[in-house]
């Protein structure tokens, strides 16, 4: 059996080196190392994207609660006096669970973040935890929502207190603009970052080399989805995709393959039965680009057991084992 000295594990690159992409005016997180051991780069989300996502989320939560209360008022279930008191309670008890549950279910994305294509990730490369999601969203209450509720919800608040709360809100809103990774206070405490969602697409030169013309993918994948399988599984999937299903048996086989991949990679987006072929095609495209880009760095991934095999050889948490 080979030991670590005969099959060395290259040291992992630094997790958080943040540089500025001057050509696009973006802040970029370089050499980010997720649990899958494949270093990637993320663009740090700008203030406009985060503001847009926040406005969409507020429209969803506040709009939904307001519509519900208006219906109760219209049905004479509520009086105008109780309307505002109940509104304050519902806004809190709907808003907080919404942000936490949405980011838990959609891996760091609320509905607003999904629409503007940004997401929350763990700053140290580990998987985003429930603690981090809860901490960053509870801090949002302290940073913005509670002070604003106090300003507009308490008519007898002294002038100095109102001014102090306004300065506090202004200060916390400016915090992301004074640090390289654009973290607000909640992100700093939770150890999270807000980044642009990566779009894993087939590179133009790869598509041209095969003579293919591909439309924009319906489904996109993160490195956590693409780091599971290797070249053997990709070739197997390619054989399936060469022959579109015609008979019920063939369609049942495609459905079985799609469900197996969905479960294995932990894909959370719903894939309808009539879109399973599209899902497999998009997954094949993204997986092929991922494996070919890794091959450029000497990381040959033969099959889905590559991490297990490397760990057995080295006795360590293998990340990059050069092919012999």
pLDDT recorded at residue 33? 64
**pLDDT band at residue 35 using 50, 70 and 90 as cut-offs:** low
Asked if 136 contacts 50 with a C-beta cutoff of 8 angstroms, the reply is: no
CA distance 189 to 183: 10
pLDDT of 38 higher than 70: no
Q: Which comes out higher in pLDDT, residue 309 or 182?
A: 182
**pLDDT band at residue 134 using 50, 70 and 90 as cut-offs:** very high
**pLDDT band at residue 131 using 50, 70 and 90 as cut-offs:** very high
Centroid of chain to Cα 130: 14
* Percentage above 70 pLDDT, the chain: 71
pLDDT recorded at residue 72? 84
pLDDT recorded at residue 198? 59
| Angle at CA of residue 102, ends 71 and 68, nearest 5° | 5
pLDDT of 168 higher than 70: yes
Q: Which comes out higher in pLDDT, residue 252 or 209?
A: 252
* Percentage above 90 pLDDT, the chain: 21
Q: Which residues pair with 40 in a beta bridge?
A: 32
Please give the model's pTM, rounded to 2 decimal places.
Answer: 0.57
CA distance 46 to 118: 10
Q: Which comes out higher in pLDDT, residue 200 or 176?
A: 176
Query: What are φ and ψ of residue 32, in 5° steps?
Result: -75, 125
Asked if 320 contacts 10 with a C-beta cutoff of 8 angstroms, the reply is: yes
Residues with Cβ < 8 Å from 211, sequence gap 6 or more?
none
Centroid of chain to Cα 94: 22
Predicted confidence (pLDDT) per residue in 69-103, tens digit: 888 888 887 777 787 778 878 888 898 999 999 99
Count CB-CB contacts under 10 A for residue 13. Answer: 13
Q: Which helix (H) or strand (E) holds 240?
A: helix 231-241
Predicted confidence (pLDDT) per residue in 205-239, tens digit: 434 444 455 566 788 888 878 877 777 677 778 87
Give residue for tokens 């049905």.
75
CA-wise closest residue to 41 among 51, 32, 53: 32
The mean pLDDT of the chain is 75
CA-wise closest residue to 53 among 101, 8, 108: 108
CA-wise closest residue to 118 among 128, 126, 107: 107
CA-wise closest residue to 186 among 217, 159, 220, 146: 146
| Angle at CA of residue 211, ends 207 and 214, nearest 5° | 50
Q: Which helix (H) or strand (E) holds 26?
A: strand 26-32
Asked if 115 contacts 53 with a C-beta cutoff of 8 angstroms, the reply is: yes
Average pLDDT over residues 318-324: 32
CA-wise closest residue to 225 among 254, 270, 268, 194: 268
CA-wise closest residue to 177 among 20, 17, 47, 21: 47
Asked if 241 contacts 284 with a C-beta cutoff of 8 angstroms, the reply is: yes
């Amino acid at each position: 059996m080979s030991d670590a000295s005969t099959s060395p594990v290259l040291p992992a690159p630094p997790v958080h080196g943040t540089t500025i992409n001057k050509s696009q005016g973006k802040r970029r997180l370089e050499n980010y190392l997720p649990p899958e051991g494949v270093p990637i780069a993320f663009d740090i989300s700008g203030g406009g994207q985060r503001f847009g996502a926040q406005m969409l989320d507020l429209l969803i939560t506040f709009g939904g609660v307001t519509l519900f209360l208006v219906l109760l008022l219209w049905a004479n279930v509520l009086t105008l006096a109780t309307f505002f008191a109940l509104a304050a309670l519902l806004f809190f008890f709907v808003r907080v669970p919404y942000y936490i549950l949405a980011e838990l279910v959609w891996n760091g994305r609320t509905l607003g973040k999904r629409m503007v294509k940004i997401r929350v990730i763990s700053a140290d490369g580990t998987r985003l935890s429930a603690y981090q999601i809860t901490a960053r969203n509870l801090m949002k209450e302290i940073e913005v929502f509670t002070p604003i509720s106090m300003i507009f919800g308490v008519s007898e608040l002294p002038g100095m207190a109102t001014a102090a709360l306004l300065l506090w809100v202004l200060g916390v809103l400016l915090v992301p603009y004074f640090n390289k990774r654009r973290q607000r206070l909640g992100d700093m405490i939770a150890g999270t970052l807000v980044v642009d969602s990566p779009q894993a697409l087939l590179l133009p030169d790869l598509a041209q080399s095969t003579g293919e013309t591909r439309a924009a993918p319906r489904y996109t994948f993160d490195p956590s989805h693409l780091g599971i399988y290797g070249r053997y599984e990709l070739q197997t999937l390619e054989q399936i995709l060469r022959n579109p299903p015609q008979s019920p048996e063939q369609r049942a086989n495609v459905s079985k393959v799609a469900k197996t991949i969905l479960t294995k990679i932990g894909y959370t987006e719903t894939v309808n039965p009539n879109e399973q072929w599209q899902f497999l095609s998009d997954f094949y495209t993204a997986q092929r680009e991922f494996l070919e880009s890794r091959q450029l760095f000497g990381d040959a991934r033969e099959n889905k057991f590559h991490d297990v095999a490397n760990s057995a050889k080295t006795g360590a948490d293998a990340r990059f084992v050069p092919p012999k």
